[in-house]
Structure 1
Amino acid sequence: MLDLFKKYRTLLLLCAFVLSALLFYSTHLRTQERTTLFEKMVLVFTGPLQQGMDGLVTTVADTWSRYLWLVRTEEENRELLQENRRLKAALDQLEEVRLSNERLRTLLNFREDIQLPALPARVIGEDASGWFRTVVIDRGSADGVTEGLAVVVPEGAVGRIIAVAPGYARVLLVTDPSSAVAALVQRSRTRGVARGRGDSLSFEYALRDQDVVIGDRIISSGMGGLFPKGIVLGTVTQVAREGYRMFQEVEIAPFVDFDQLEEVLILLKEDA
C-alpha cells in the first residue's frame, strides 16, 4: 500500500488539492458577497467545459429520444400497413359480394321475364383441351337437370346440356362447331341456322336475296325445341354475297362473353 502511494503520490496529492479547493470554493461561495479573482479564474476555465458537457448531454438525449421516436413510428407504420391490408381485403370481399348480388339479381329478373321454369347454376369449370367449347356447372340430375336442356343468361343463349351427373352437368356452348340453333333476323324475320365457329357464329341457309345487313340482331326462332323463341344469339358483323352462291355468308358476334361466365340459368321443361 505504501509503495502504491509513493508511486502515485504526485497524482494523489493533486487530486486531493483540487478536491479541497472545490470544497472550499463551494463552502465559501455560500457566505461571500463578492466574487474573488480565484473564483473568476475557475469560472473562466470551467465554464466552457461545463457548456460543452451540457451540450454533449443534450445532444445525446435528443439523439436517443429521436431514435426511440423513430422506432415507435416504424412500429406504428408497420401496424397501420397491416391494418390497411386487412381493410383492403375486406373491401375487396365486400365488392365481390356486391357484384355477385348484382349478377344474381339480374339473373332472377331475367328468369321472371322469360316466364319459364328455370334453375340457377354456377359455372365451376371449362374445357381445357381446346377441342370443344364446353363449361361445367354445379347442377345435375339430383336437381332435375337432363340432357338437352337449354342454358341462358340475360345477355342471350349460352348452350345446351350434353352430359349429366348427380351434382354436375356439362354445357356445350353455342359457339362450338357442333352446335346449331334455329334462328332468325329479328328485323326482317329472315330464317336460318346459327352455327358455332369457335369464337363466333355464322348464320347459314339465308338466301342471297334475303334481307340481312350488318348490325341486325339474330335471335332464336323457337323451332327445333331447344331454345324458346326470342333468345338473343348475337349481332351480324359481316355479310358476303359472292359469285353465284345460293346462300349468303353471314358472320355473327355473340352477345354473351363466354370467357366471363359465372352464373347461368337452366331452362327446365314446362312439366318439370
Structure 2
Amino acid sequence: MLSSFQKFTRGVLAVICVFLAVLLTSLAFPNFERFHWYSQLGMTMISPLQSSLTKISGFFGGAWRHYIAISDAAIENEKLKFDLAEAKRRMIEMEDVRKENNNLHELLSMSSSLKKEGFGARVIASDVTAEFKTVTIDKGFNQGARKNMVVIGPGGLVGRIGKVANSESVVLLIADPNSAVDVTVQRTGARALLVGTSMETELKPFYSLSRLEYLRRVSNVADGDVVITSGLDKLFPFGIPVGTLNKVQNQSSGVFKGADVIPFVDLAQVKNVMVLK
C-alpha cells in the first residue's frame, strides 16, 4: 500500500500537470477578445494596489502643485512689495525735488524784490538745539562768502554769516541770543530790536522764538502783525520778512512792550538758503 505522503505527492504532481496542460493550451490557442484567466487573476490581485498608488500619487502631486503655486504667489507678492516701495521712494524723491524747486524759486523772487544779488547754498549741518543757534552752509570764502553777509530762506530772514572757512560758513540764526536785528512792524511802522531767545514756540513745535525789545509802550501792535527788517542797522536790507508777533503785552513797569516773534522760516528744517551780497 502507498503511504500517505506518496499519495499527497502524486496528487500535487497531478494538479501541476493539469495546470501546465491548461497553460500550454491557452498559449497555443490565444483568445484575443478577452484576457487570459491568469492575466485576469493577476489584474484582480494588483488592482487595489494600483488604485492606492494612484490616489497616493494624486495626493502628493496635488500637494506639490499647491506648494509650487504658493511659492510662485509668495515670489510675486515680494516683487509687488518691492515695486510698491520703489514707487513710494520715487514719489518721495519727486516731492523733495518739487519742494526744493519751489524753495529756490521763492528765494530768487525774494532776492529780486530786495534788488539784491546773491548765491544759493545748502545747509550741511545744523546746531539749532544747542545754546548757540547756528547752521553750516556749503559755501565759504572761495565761493564769495564773507562775514556778516545776510542769509535768507524760503519765507524770510534766516540770519547772518558769523564765521567763514574756505569752503563752508557758519550762519548765526535770528533765534540765537547773540543775534540782534533792527526791525519794524509792517502794519504800523513801529520800530524795535529783534533778539534771539533759547525758547521754542508752543504754536509751532521746534520753531525757535525771537523777541522784540525796545518796542514802545504806545506802539499800535497786535498778535499776528508781520515784522520785517527796517534796514536802519546798515546790515540787514529793508523789507526782509522776519515773522509774526505773538503774545504782545505791556510790561509791568517801564515804557516798553514785550512781544514774541515766530519766524517765517523753520530754522530747524531749512535746507536751501540764499546769501545776499
**TM-score interval for Structure 1 and Structure 2 normalised by the shorter chain:** 0.7 to 0.9
* Residue 228 of structure 2 corresponds to residue 226 of structure 1: no
Contact kept? 2:128, 2:268, Cα under 8 Å = no
The residue type equivalent to 2:72 in the other structure is R
Note the C-alpha offset of 1:240.
Answer: 1.8
CA RMSD, 1 decimal: 3.0
* Residue 158 of structure 2 corresponds to residue 158 of structure 1: yes
Note the C-alpha offset of 1:233.
Answer: 1.4
> How many positions carry a matched residue from both structures?
245
Identity %: 31
Partner of 1:243: 252
CA distance in 1, matches of 2:219, 2:95: 48
1:7-28 CA distance string (max 9 Å, x none): xxxxxxxxxx9xx98xx69x96
Q: Structure 2 length as normaliser, TM-score?
A: 0.76
Partner of 1:4: none
Note the C-alpha offset of 1:183.
Answer: 0.8
The residue type equivalent to 2:228 in the other structure is I
* Residue 138 of structure 2 corresponds to residue 138 of structure 1: yes
CA distance in 2, matches of 1:164, 1:218: 28
Q: How does 1:175-214 map to 2 (within 5 A)?
A: 175-198=175-198, 199-214=208-223
CA distance in 1, matches of 2:92, 2:62: 44
Partner of 2:173: 173
The residue type equivalent to 2:212 in the other structure is F
The structure with the largest strand share of the pair is 2
Q: How does 1:3-14 map to 2 (within 5 A)?
A: none
Q: Secondary structure at the match of 1:175?
A: coil
Q: Secondary structure at the match of 1:225?
A: coil
Q: Secondary structure at the match of 1:158?
A: strand
* Residue 122 of structure 2 corresponds to residue 106 of structure 1: no
The match for 1:31 among 30, 33, 40 is 33
Point out the more displaced range, 256-265 or 244-253: 244-253
CA distance in 1, matches of 2:104, 2:249: 39
Q: Secondary structure at the match of 1:248?
A: strand
Partner of 1:6: none
- Which ranges of structure 2 fall in alignment gaps of 5 or more residues? 1-18, 199-207
CA distance in 2, matches of 1:164, 1:245: 40
Q: Structure 1 length as normaliser, TM-score?
A: 0.77
CA distance in 2, matches of 1:196, 1:149: 18
Partner of 2:64: 64
CA distance in 1, matches of 2:228, 2:43: 106
CA distance in 1, matches of 2:271, 2:86: 26
Note the C-alpha offset of 1:142.
Answer: 1.1
Q: Secondary structure at the match of 1:157?
A: strand
- Which ranges of structure 1 fall in alignment gaps of 5 or more residues? 1-16
Q: Secondary structure at the match of 1:206?
A: strand
